[in-house]
Amino acid sequence: MGLFLKNVSKTFVGKRAVDNISFELNKPGVFGLLGTNGAGKTTTIRMLLGIIKKDSGEITWNGKVVDRKSVNFGYLPEERGVYPKTKIYNQLMYFAELKGMKKEEADEAIKNWAKKLKVEEYLDKLAEKLSKGNQQKIQFMTAVIHNPELLVLDEPFSGLDPVNTELLKNIIINLVKEGKYIIMSAHQMSTIEEFCSDILILNKGKTVIKGNLKEIKDTYPANRVQIETNENIEKDIKKLGFEIENVKNYSYTIKISDEQKAHELLKELVLKGITIDKFEIMKPTLNDIFIEKVGE
């Protein structure tokens, strides 16, 4: 069961856009597909959804070869596509019917999702009258209205304020609980870290890192330490030769070369009589790893 890609490649006019990539989603959850612009993410997504044909390799969904008819998928592309001069309800009904839904079924789904996303009052309005954030929520509805098994979300939180970002995050969490398979691409690495247990990073069409995010991070040495006190110790830290990355309310994030340096710093601060309320050695963030890998 699930989605499997094995040794998949695609070339456009002599340029290899995707080069022999493999990954799998064998249980419900969120998989992170990452890469810079031009890395091959969009081509990969379009191949796995059967929108374009691969040149070589295998793509299967629940044991069957993928094409546009074999996968009940929902797709939220990075390039948004609501019709500005069309009423929201009519657009949603159009997309629902394209996916084979009957009018009564589609009407119920539209009203249900409008309530979840708090856009009920906009259903009879033209799309151009909506804010960017509300247009984004309508676009999300077009991807989920037909209850897809596989959902691909490209920059799902683009244009959303913090309140609506949290709303959509909770909806995605519930979709996973309902058994959905989700592929997510985002430029905000903190978002991927929050949702994804497994990731794939592409660079120039090639896989540069793949696997369980926690296991990947565990292969990297610590590069920061967080120290909290009840006093200003910025000068003390700098005198000891350490670089402070961030300071907030006597909470200091400090760059280190290895864990031994962190313990040396702690020892020196304690010897100075400084009370330490929190001391945490930190692994690199996904953003650190991403920058290192795509910058090689």
Q: What is the pLDDT of residue 265?
A: 93
In the block, residue with structure tokens 């009018």 = 103
Tokens read off for 174:
């519930």
Q: Residue 171: what are its φ and ψ, rounded to 5°?
A: -65, -45
Residue 48, SS3 per DSSP: helix
Cβ burial 270-281 (10 Å sphere, 16+ → b, else e): eeeebeeeebeb
Cα 68 to chain center, whole Å?
23
- pTM, rounded to two decimals: 0.86
Nearest to 265 by CA among 228, 225, 221, 229: 225
Q: For residue 67, is pLDDT > 80? A: no
Cα 267 to chain center, whole Å?
39
Strands 181-185 and 29-35: parallel
In this prediction, residue 10 has a pLDDT band, given cuts at 50, 70 and 90, of: very high
Domains of the chain listed by start with CATH number: 3-218 (3.40.50.300), 224-294 (3.30.70)
Q: What is the pLDDT of residue 296?
A: 56
Cα 288 to chain center, whole Å?
16
Cα 178 to chain center, whole Å?
19
Tens-digit pLDDT profile for residues 177-230: 999 999 999 888 888 999 999 999 999 999 999 999 999 998 988 889 999 999
Average pLDDT in the chain: 92
Q: What is the pLDDT of residue 49?
A: 87
Q: What is the pLDDT of residue 267?
A: 93
